[in-house]
Each structure stands twice: as C-alpha cells, then as structure tokens.
Amino acid sequence: MQDFETIYTLYSPQIFRVCMGYVNDSEQAKDLTQETFISVWKNLSSFRNESKISTWIYRIATNNCLRALEVGKRMVKTELPLHLPDIPDESPEERLRFLYRAISELEETERIIISLLLEDLPQGEIADIVGLNPGTVRVRIHRIKEKLAIKFREHGQFE
C-alpha cells in the first residue's frame, strides 16, 4: 500500500479536474478535492484492495461531487450569465473554460463518465466507478461525445 503523500501527489490533479467537470467552479473543485483526500486519509487504513486504489479514490470524489450538487440544488441562487466572447480565435484557456461549461451542463452520470474518460481511465474502470456495465459505458461515451460536439459546433469551434 502506498503512503498518503504519494497517493495525494499522484491523484490530486486528476481528482481536481474531475471535480471541475462536475461543478465548473475552481474554488468549489478545490474544496471537493480537499474533502476527497480528507476521506482518503481517514479511511486509507480500511482500504481492502478489492479494487484499484484509483477506482476507490474516484468513487469517493464522485460521491462528494454528487452530494455537493444535491446540496446546491436545494440552495436558492442567482446565476450571472457566463458568455464567452464570439471571437474566431479563442485562446486555449477560453476553449477549456467552454469545455468545462459544456460538461457541467450534462446530466450527472454523463459528467462523471466524460470527466473520467478525460483522465484516460479505461472504460472498464469507469464502469466500476459508476456502477454500470462496460457496454453501457461505451454507448454513453459515444452519446456524450456527440452532445459535446454539437455544443462546440454551435459555438463555432468546429467550423
């Protein structure tokens, strides 16, 4: 078993990006990443190696994100419109921001699947994390990519 510091160093950037895919807010994603690793630290001694440690950590992160989204739904909030400028040559940061916004508009399970795929997790591991069979995950990935491609085309990214 690896020590906590090694685990944190290895997985925290990936967990942050997964959380960003859920909440599309870097401060909240940092908080969720921190909550995830607090849970990992508290429960590391009880990890039973029944799955890969990365699968276990991603599962903790996704549960934290889903809980945060559920709490957020119950809170009254006013959203400010977020519009990216319609300029033909957007910077890579603007494209990344648009990608995170597009991902955050997906249904919850779709958000987790695409976020994990963007972290280069194998489809079998994604299936274990989300609790679906690999065939279903493969179909969902295809549909999610189609949805995102439509959003990018509407935004003028693929013209």
What are the pLDDT digits (tens) for 24-82?
Answer: 888 999 999 999 999 999 999 888 888 889 999 999 999 998 888 887 776 544 444 44
pLDDT value, residue 48:
83
Task: Provide Rg for the chain, Cα atoms.
Answer: 17
- The CATH fold assigned to 4-154 is Butyryl-CoA Dehydrogenase, subunit A; domain 3 (1.20.140)
Q: For 24, left (φ over 0), alpha (ψ -120 to 50), or beta?
A: left
pLDDT value, residue 7:
93
Amino acid, single-letter form, for residue 121: L
Instruction: Report residue 156's pLDDT band, with 50, 70 and 90 as the boundaries.
Output: confident
Q: Which of 50, 59, 44 is nearest to 7 (CA)?
A: 44
Q: Which of 118, 120, 18, 26 is nearest to 60 (CA)?
A: 18
Helix 134-154 vs helix 92-104: crossing angle, to nearest 10: 130
Backbone phi, psi, residue 107, to 5°? -65, 155
Q: Which residue has the higher pLDDT, 48 or 1?
A: 48
Q: Looking at the predicted structure, is the pLDDT value of residue 1 above 70? A: no
Q: Distance (Å, rounded) from C-alpha 11 to C-alpha 56?
A: 11
Backbone phi, psi, residue 80, to 5°? -85, 140
Q: Which residue has the higher pLDDT, 83 or 13?
A: 13
If you search the block for the tokens 């510091």, which residue do you land on?
Answer: 5
Q: Residue 44 carries which DSSP code?
A: G
Q: Which residue has the higher pLDDT, 159 or 11?
A: 11
Backbone phi, psi, residue 16, to 5°? -60, -45
pLDDT value, residue 80:
40
What are the pLDDT digits (tens) for 66-104?
Answer: 888 887 776 544 444 444 444 455 677 888 888 888 888
pLDDT value, residue 95:
80
Instruction: Report residue 112's pLDDT band, with 50, 70 and 90 as the boundaries.
Output: confident
